[in-house]
Structures are given as C-alpha cells and as structure tokens.
Structure 1
C-alpha cells in the first residue's frame, strides 16, 4: 500500500491524506475481524491504546500518524524479518545497530544527559562538546549490556532489560506482592533455565535506580513537627515535642523509624521529560502542583492516610499534559493521620528543589540539537479541593471568611432586587496585599502536639504563611 500520504503536512486539506487514512482504516477493520476497536497509531497513542475506529480517524487528522510506524504490523501487515549472518552476531549479544526493542533510545538520553560536559556557570550558552562515550559508569554499562542482550538465544521479541521492565510494570499495575514476584521469578527460572532473569525483586529493582527512578527516604517526627533532614539529620528525637525518632520492631531486635517521607528527585525526571518531548522552548518548565489524601484501606477501623504530591508539567501538548504517564510524583506522605496544616514540614525537600531550579537550574542535554543548557522550572499554581486548599495556602476554608472573595449579598440576600448591578467589582487582592496580611501572623509552630491558638482580628483567616512564599516569584503570580 502507498504510504507517501503519511508525510503530508497539511492533513485537513489535501485529499491524498484523506484517501490514505481511508485505505488504512479499511485494512485495519479487515484485520480487526469484527471488533469495534483498533490500536491508534497517532503521534500521542503510538499503538498503545485501543480506541473506536471513528475516534482513531479523528486522531489521525488532528494529531497525525506516527511517522516511524512504517510497517503496519498491528493493522494487518506482516513484519519484515532481517536476515543476519552468524558471522555478524556474537554468542549472546546483538550488534549495536540491531537492537531488538527501543530501550536504547531511553538509554541514549540517559547517557547524553549524564556524561556530557556542562559549564558550571549559570548561563544559557549551549555547549557542543562531544559526549565522552569511553567513560560511562559501571551502572550504565550494565544497563546498556542488558539492553543489547536477548532474553534467550534466538529471542527476537525481548531483551533482558525490556523483559524485566515489563515484569516490573505488570507488578505495579497488578498490585503484586514482593513475595509473589519472587515466586514468579523462581518458577520462570525453573521452567526456562536458558532465560536470563534476576534472582529476586531486589535485583530487579536495582534497574530502577540505574534508570533514575529511585527516591530518598526522609525520617519525620511522628507528630509532624520537623523532618530529620539537613541540620536535623543526626538527631534521635524531635527538639520540639521530644518524640523519639525510632521504635523497636515487632521482634525487638532492631529499631525502625516511626514515620518516613518518600521524596522523588525532580532533576532526572525533568531532564528526561525534555529529552523525550523535544520542547520548543526548554529554558523554562512550567509546573502545577496537586495533592490530596486518601485512605489506602477500605476498613475505616484501621485509620491510615497517604498524601501523594504530584507535579504536572504544562510544557507538553494539551492532550498529553493531563495524562497520568506524564505526572511527576514528587512526595508520598504516609501516616496514621493526614498532615493537615503541618504539610509545610513535608514540603521542605520539594520547595528546596524548586528554589534550585529557579535560581541555578540544572544542566540538561538536548538530544535534538546535541546541546546542553541550564534548565529552569517554576511552579505556577496548585489545584486542590477545598480542605487541601486550606492546608496548602494557609487560608482557612472554615468559618465566615472561608471564601477570600466576599460580597455583601451572600449574607444580605434581601438587598438583591433582581436588576443588573452596575457597581464596581471587588478590588483584586494582589501579592503585595497578601504579604502585608501575612506580616500580621505570629510565628507558627508546626506539630500535632502543639496547642491550637486563636486567630486575632488582624490575622483575618490566615493560619500560617505558606511555605510557597519562600519561592521568590510566588507573590507575583496572579493566582
């Protein structure tokens, strides 16, 4: 079938593109054998989603077909097999140019962003220094070797790396326990002794650390007073409430932390986000923050709360930025109770990273131009429900001043006569006004053990000065 229509830029006007889409869908329906859904080959879905045929047709006109999808193997065409002679292939490692899957693209981005030379000064001048290919780390060498090694001799579908990554993905989606994952690995190794599989889940998880998907555990006061972090890292008890940092485990043989915060670094994720999406203006990344708590157990008799803190990059296209695969998990706050107004204690590592992104940026490699630059990022706003909005903003969402914008008709409904109101709208409260109000707040001590204090009339409905005001640009944002 003629596929020249795939490269046409004007998809909505040229009849050759419409005719090509029509022929493609005809073949796809024939291959679907009566099913009403087919794989969508557009730029966004990349054959990963099954959609109705009419929706696929719309996506092909709006987003365009993936230009790399030249063999329609998911829509009726047979895959072309490459004949490789035995002299060109080693015992168990494929040639560098004949990878089985596309894992090497991700590894190339990691290598480029990690080992390229970047100037230390805070400039945006690109540096075209060559990538030192002869000095990769041991971890990256292992990843690259696993990405080239077939799962077993003669396997053309999976490499060792891609198969383990898919297993970890299924474990995450299916909610498998670590024990069940280890049992599956034991069964696969016993059934297929020639297959190159890890010995345990811990060995598989070491791949995540090599790919930059690791996180840091930060111990916290059980009463949410402080984090045992930075200057408090060496303390064994909270200096505010004197609560112990440790508790003995069920066997009494060792001690474990009472409360642990999980912090996911933004650096590698934002770097990889740029390299995978080819953002047109990469010097600034715009982010929004969303957070809310949920109970992981259906049984309310076992109270437990988990608060994930999610960042969403707005540099992506509108149809991609709200997809969960592009969300950035920055914090996970677990505990028997929600952090409430003390959430600022747990936001310290994230705000510290955001300050670094704004002031200094991080060196990032542009895979499309082979240049390096300083990547900066800014947080634009937060999106929450009303209780979480009160916790993050510092403005209480309870009481008569719960709504920051107040109108007299809310309490004096009899003044409304059904006619148009030609009075001037209420004055917008700017960042300077808010900073003036926050100066009236006394020092707020965090922690569940502290006694609640009554707000004075000068403090209005403020309960604290939000930690986001430590960002130098926060008071200038309209929202």
Structure 2
C-alpha cells in the first residue's frame, strides 16, 4: 500500500491524503473485532489511546498521522520482527494470536525489536552468527522473551483489560503502597488461584518479584566500615576488619553461626537505568529534545542547555556533544530523618540523578528521577561522603570515557551511550 500520503502537510486540501486516510480506516476496520474503537495513530495519541472511527479520522486530518508508524502492526499489517523471532511453539499457542492488546504493548515491541537486533543485526545491516560470543555489554533483560510473552498473554482467555504482566505489576504496586508483607501477598495470591482456576496468577511473591529483576529494577548492597573509612568493595571486598581503624565488619550476634553487617550502602547501577530511557520510542525521542525540540532564544532561559556551563562543556568536549543522545546529568543530595521523630536523631542520605536531556516539563518529574545511592545513618556522612560516592563515580568515569552500547528504539539502531555529570544541587552541609 502506498504510504507517501503520510508526509503530506496540507492535509485538509489534499485528495491524496483523503484517499490515504480512507484506505487506512477500511484496513483497520477489516482487522478488528471491535469496530466501536480502534487505536489512534495520530501524532499525539501514537497508538496509545483508543477512539471511535470518527474521532480517529478527525485526529488524522487535524493532527496528522505519526510519520514513524510505517508498519501498521496495530491495524492489520504483519510485524516483520515478530514474524522473524517467534518460535513454532509460540505459533501453536492459541493465546499467541489473541486480539488482546494493552498499553504495555508499545513499549514491549520497542524493547523486543532492540533485543532481536542486538542478537542478529549490526548497525550497518549485515547479519552475523548468533552463536559467536559477544565482547560487548550484555543485552538488557536476558529473560525479556518471558516478559514479552506475559505482556501478550491475557489474564484469562476472554480478558481484554489485563494481561498477565499488567495485572502482576498492579499487584506489586498495591503491595508497595499499602505495605503488604510477603506472607499476606502470598495469601492473597493463593485465594485468587482457588477462586479463579483458569487465571494466570503468579505462584507467589517471589514469582511476581522476578519481573522487577527481569526489568532491571535491582540494586546492590555494599558493606561499609563502621567508621566510614572505606567500603568493603573491590579491593576490600574480602576483608572482615577495617585496614585503617581495625573495626569489625560484623555486629556481635547472639545467634550462633549468624553474622550481621554493621552498615550497608544501597547502590542502584546507573548504566541499565540510562539504557532503559531509550527502550521506548517516545522517551528516546524526548531525550533529543534539547537539540531537536529546543528553540534557542537569547532573551530568556528555557532549559538548562541555555546555561553557559552547558555550552562551555559542549565546546570542550566536541565528540560528546555531537550526539544529542549522550546524557547530561545533575546530582542532588540531602539527608533526612526517616522516623519522623526529632527526639530520635537519625540521618539517612539520598543521592539522586536527573537527566537534563528531556524537555523542562519532564526532566524534573518523578519517573525520570533516579535514586543512585542510599547512604545509611545514624550520623550524617559529612566529609566522608566521598567514600560512599565511589561506586557512582566509577560508573560516571566509565560512561564518560568508554560509554555503553545501547539500543535506541526511536532510530531503531544501536549507539555508544556516554554520560557526563554537569553540576550538583545541594545545600551547604551537603
């Protein structure tokens, strides 16, 4: 089908555009069981919202169709990546051909394409053997095929509202907000399994929790010397006593055979979190906003890219600034008392990272604020905060000098992602 009409700007006066929209609507209606609502491919909805046929037509004429939506996989055309990568076992599965689609599908497809290309296609389009060992960074989400299958499998055969993946995510969200214990979560799961026999519930909290691990939402626990001299990390990982002050790594325990660490730093790796920013077409496009979407106005400051510090950095590091996908970061740190009780002094410190590539209405939003370090108390780290920052600083050095191979869902190609810390945000004690 001719799709050149998708790029016509004079939509209201073009007979070619009118005919193109008509053919698209006919195709969409013929490939859906529900003609009341279909996915809208306009530039704003981008297949994330369902509307009536009339509303979709209005959107296509007044807003225009998303020019990047060339394979119409949500309206009847085959997805070439899906046809190439699905196994015969999946084709025999009756649920694999279900008409079920939910809001997770767009992101799932983006990452699935990246996973496929990471194993089978080079940036120049030449194929190579998948059995050869790779020396590059391992692909994000090694069990992604399982997650894709869960995202496309309805919770039960006739369910159109939840997939197995989306339902589990909502359960985990409720557990986090309400404060369920693991035992209470398992009890609810068992009750649901007994009441709804043909429903694809997880077996337990551990089974549901594997999704978080599969999506890369993990952190590492690093033991700290009690007096904040150094970390039990890398060259000190095997020590039980501090080489500087001699303090023990472990608390005295009354339980025989059980050792309890005295202080633990929680570190969330930065590299996979930056890679996840490019797993979605929409977010990957927004990460270029500071170059592609920003209008330079010398009379006012609209974005951190207008700052002199940003521009000076670009001049000093030209190879970094030539690719708008490279990430500029800000670091914020402060301490607080988690017990809401001033009579019980305790100071736990957060180290947060903010990506400033995004447009100003997104870069300070909660979904894009990354918790990098959780520094334990009970006392403020003070001048020893550099000891706790070492895992983050090591990552930042690697990201600036070496980079990490990342899949860009917007351009559908891999690139070497670099990142730089431009400034910090803190009060005087921090």
TM range (shorter): 0.5 to 0.7
Q: Give the aligned partner of residue 177 of structure 2.
A: 173
CA–CA distance in 1 between the matches of 2:48 and 2:152? 22
Q: Please, what is the CA RMSD of the aligned residues? A: 3.9
| CA displacement at 1:8 relative to structure 2 | 11
CA–CA distance in 1 between the matches of 2:256 and 2:414? 52
CA pair 69-161 structure 1, distance change in 2 beyond 3 A? closer
Q: Give the aligned partner of residue 364 of structure 2.
A: 322
CA pair 219-9 structure 1, distance change in 2 beyond 3 A? farther
CA pair 304-156 structure 1, distance change in 2 beyond 3 A? same
User: Any conservation in 1 of the 2:327–2:355 contact (CA below 8 Å)?
Assistant: yes
CA pair 293-138 structure 1, distance change in 2 beyond 3 A? closer
Worse-superposed segment, 236-245 or 318-327? 236-245
| CA displacement at 1:163 relative to structure 2 | 1.0
CA pair 138-329 structure 1, distance change in 2 beyond 3 A? closer
CA pair 240-161 structure 1, distance change in 2 beyond 3 A? same
Larger Rg: 1
CA–CA distance in 1 between the matches of 2:337 and 2:377? 10
Q: Give the aligned partner of residue 372 of structure 1.
A: 414
Q: Give the aligned partner of residue 183 of structure 1.
A: 187
Structure 2 residue matching 1:304: 3-state secondary structure: coil
CA–CA distance in 1 between the matches of 2:391 and 2:190? 39
CA pair 66-133 structure 1, distance change in 2 beyond 3 A? farther
CA–CA distance in 1 between the matches of 2:204 and 2:349? 29
User: Any conservation in 1 of the 2:267–2:373 contact (CA below 8 Å)?
Assistant: yes
User: Any conservation in 1 of the 2:114–2:412 contact (CA below 8 Å)?
Assistant: no
| CA displacement at 1:201 relative to structure 2 | 2.0
1:258 to 2:262 alignment: yes
User: Any conservation in 1 of the 2:332–2:351 contact (CA below 8 Å)?
Assistant: yes
CA pair 380-138 structure 1, distance change in 2 beyond 3 A? closer
- Provide the TM-score with structure 2 as the length reference: 0.65
CA–CA distance in 2 between the matches of 1:287 and 1:315? 8
CA offsets 1:57-98 (integer angstroms, 9 cap, x no match): xxxxxxx8434356348xx99xxxx9xxxxx996662328x4
| CA displacement at 1:271 relative to structure 2 | 1.4
CA pair 66-144 structure 1, distance change in 2 beyond 3 A? closer
User: Any conservation in 2 of the 1:283–1:374 contact (CA below 8 Å)?
Assistant: no
CA pair 151-336 structure 1, distance change in 2 beyond 3 A? same
Q: How many residues align?
A: 321
CA–CA distance in 2 between the matches of 1:213 and 1:266? 11
| CA displacement at 1:334 relative to structure 2 | 2.0
| CA displacement at 1:361 relative to structure 2 | 0.6
Superposition map of 1:235-314 within 5 A: 235-249=239-253, 251-276=255-280, 277=283, 278=285, 279-280=287-288, 281-314=323-356
Q: Which has the higher helix share?
A: 2
CA offsets 1:202-230 (integer angstroms, 9 cap, x no match): 22211111111111111111211111111
CA offsets 1:33-79 (integer angstroms, 9 cap, x no match): xxxxxxxxxx9xxxxxxxxxxxxxxxxxxxx8434356348xx99xx
CA offsets 1:259-308 (integer angstroms, 9 cap, x no match): 11111111121112133322335442111011111111123444433222
Q: Give the aligned partner of residue 161 of structure 2.
A: 157
1:341 to 2:320 alignment: no
CA–CA distance in 2 between the matches of 1:130 and 1:282? 27
| CA displacement at 1:132 relative to structure 2 | 8.4
| CA displacement at 1:357 relative to structure 2 | 0.6
Structure 2 residue matching 1:354: 3-state secondary structure: helix
| CA displacement at 1:115 relative to structure 2 | 6.0
1:202 to 2:206 alignment: yes
CA pair 364-112 structure 1, distance change in 2 beyond 3 A? farther
CA–CA distance in 1 between the matches of 2:426 and 2:113? 37
- Provide the TM-score with structure 1 as the length reference: 0.58
User: Any conservation in 2 of the 1:146–1:161 contact (CA below 8 Å)?
Assistant: yes
CA pair 182-292 structure 1, distance change in 2 beyond 3 A? farther
Worse-superposed segment, 193-202 or 356-365? 193-202
Q: Give the aligned partner of residue 414 of structure 1.
A: none
Structure 2 residue matching 1:387: 3-state secondary structure: coil
Gapped regions of structure 1 (runs ≥ 5): 1-6, 15-42, 44-63, 83-87, 119-124, 389-479
CA pair 292-175 structure 1, distance change in 2 beyond 3 A? farther
Superposition map of 1:23-102 within 5 A: 65-68=44-47, 71-72=50-51, 93-95=95-97, 98-102=99-103
Instruction: Give the counterpart of 2:428 among 383, 386, 392.
Output: 386
